[in-house]
Each structure stands twice: as C-alpha cells, then as structure tokens.
Amino acid sequence: MSNNSSNSDDRTRAFRLTKFTDRPTEIVGILVVSAIGFIVALAWRDAATTVFSELFPDTESSITPRIWYAVITTIVAILVIWLVVRFLEKNRRRNGD
C-alpha cells in the first residue's frame, strides 16, 4: 500500500513541476506586468501626494492629511481588488473552470 502512495506522490510532484515549467512565458509575462504595475502605482502615489499637499498646504507637517490619504487610498484599493476578484470569478464561471 505504501508503494501506491509513493507512486501517487511522485506523480503529483511531476504534475506540479510540469505544470510550472510548461508555462514559463506566461509566468515571465505576469512578472513583467506586475513590475510595470508597481512602477505605475509609485508614479500615481507621487501624483496623489502632490495633489493632497496642494489641497492642504498649511498641514505639511501634520499627520492628519497623511492619515486621510492612507484611508482614501486603502478604500480605493479595496474597491479595485473587489472588482477584479468579482470579474475573475465571473470569467472563471463563464469558462466552466
């Protein structure tokens, strides 16, 4: 019985390795898109920080505007993540996965 278990474990490992190595182009593409997205996010962060500083010029050293900026950014991020997850779930259901 342990022999069957060992064969099953070997097949599972082989499947995982094959599944990973069959899609290197896709994986590299995901990494590149993620890196570009990170750079874009940093650019927008800088722009939003500048806008926020312009709206509240007298509170440059105050922590309150920074807290509001963090809260607003977090709410927007949660909404975007929720929309993306919802879209992916609908797409997965539509494709029958």
**Alpha-carbon gap, residue 42 to 44, rounded angstroms:** 5
Provide the CA 91 distance to its chain's centre, in angstroms. Answer: 17
Question: 20 pLDDT exceeds 60?
Answer: no
**pLDDT tens digits for 60-85?**
567 777 788 788 888 988 998 899 88
- pLDDT of 75 reads 92
Matching residue, tokens 């995901």: 30
pLDDT, mean of residues 11-27 = 65
- Per-residue pLDDT, averaged over 83-97, amounts to 83
DSSP states along 64-77: HHHHHHHHHHHHHH
Q: What is the mean pLDDT of residues 51-62?
A: 72
